[in-house]
Amino acid sequence: MKDKIIERFKTLIRFDTTSDPESSSYPSTEAQNLFAEVIAGELMKIGLKDIGIDQYGYVTGTLPGNTDGPVIGFIAHMDTSPDCCGYGITPVITENYDGKAIERKGPCLSPDEFPELKQYTGKTIICSDGTTLLGADDKAGCTEIITALEYLTAHPEIKHTTIKAAFTPDEEIGAGVDHFNVDKFGCDFAYTVDGGVIGEISYENFNAARAKIDIKGKSVHPGNAKDVMINAGLIACELNSMLPENEIPSATSDYEGFYHLTKISGNVENAHMDYIIRDFDKNNFEIRKNIIESIVSTLNRKYGANTISLNMYDEYYNMADIIKKNEYVTKRAVDSINKAGIKPLIEPIRGGTDGARLSFMGLPCPNIFTGGHNFHGPYEFICAESMEKAVEVIINIASEQ
């Protein structure tokens, strides 16, 4: 099965499916529509039924059950993060990894920097050549779902209820389930296959908001600027300095929230800033948003009304409250991970998944591991044996309990 997983994964990561947060279309890039056709073709080849691509680019398929029980869904997203180049991906496959640095065209992948590599000594590591991301987030999930359903199709002696698969666009820009029809999907519960390290299962995630800030300055000749010039670029710097300096991604972990400046551009006349705001605790989440609003108000009083405009909106919420009311969904996954001979790791997601929003839409949907590490950048890697275990866990979840 490992060889089949690697070949399918290599095929899927060849396709550039980078999502675009500035796009007004859905999906945000045409490449995702083309990739949807590829996924649908894979589902057709393995014998799924009711395969479809709707007007929004969602791909769905059904494996009819051979026993009674709940209808279970598995979901992965097709897009890759715009944080790093996602085209021209060249996988580097290191079999029987020796625990040393993996040399690549780009920066090497070293256990000195990423000590977790050591745990995969003797196994097969897949990474990019260092000039792009790898695309394991979430083409690993796509690969694992398809391979698990292929196995169940080929082994009708395994008792399972009806299983449905869905593949979504634009998850990386927070729009993955904007048009997802939960009722039409028709599942009692589901799992996103979009997690990290082997054994991981998550049902807690950040509350998330995004802030877009525009600053209007006044440009005059610097020789005559006294008491006249308003430098939008400097105001942007001042605004950022008013946020808590240690509440940023690189200084936080576990259940700590943060402000993350994802984009800044500008000059004297105009400046623009994008932030994402994250916190597990709903009250702290609201406080963080209030702090942004307060800073903007303070600077508008200092530099003049309407100098700064703020567009802030919520993206998704912590699914923990929903999942805790449906504990059997998590238990089924934990039991299936144990059955695969893996220690379950119940970890909070320092991010979000489609499952967070789906849970609030009436479809309880925790997240299970893919086996990947270091998503969204050139140091991304995945262990093929972990992918094989993810397939086994999906089969276990789907099988009669």
Active-site residue list: 79, 171
Residues 6+ apart with CB under 8 A from 167: 36, 39, 58, 59, 60, 75, 76, 77, 78, 142
Residues 6+ apart with CB under 8 A from 134: 13, 89, 91, 126, 127, 128, 372, 380, 381, 382
Q: Quote the CA–CA distance of 229 and 217 in Å, as a whole number.
A: 7
Cis peptide before 129 (omega within 30 of 0): no
From first CA to last CA, the distance across the chain in angstroms is: 23
**Residues 317-348, buried b or exposed e (16+ Cβ, 10 A)?**
bbbbebbeebeebbebbbebbeebebebeebe
Q: Are 99 and 115 in contact (CB under 8 A)?
A: no
Identify the DSSP state of 115: G
Residue 49 burial (CB < 10 Å; 0-12/13-18/19+)? exposed
Residue type for 84, please?
Answer: C
Question: For residue 194, what are its two tokens?
Answer: 């979009």
Q: Quote the CA–CA distance of 40 and 18 in Å, as a whole number.
A: 19
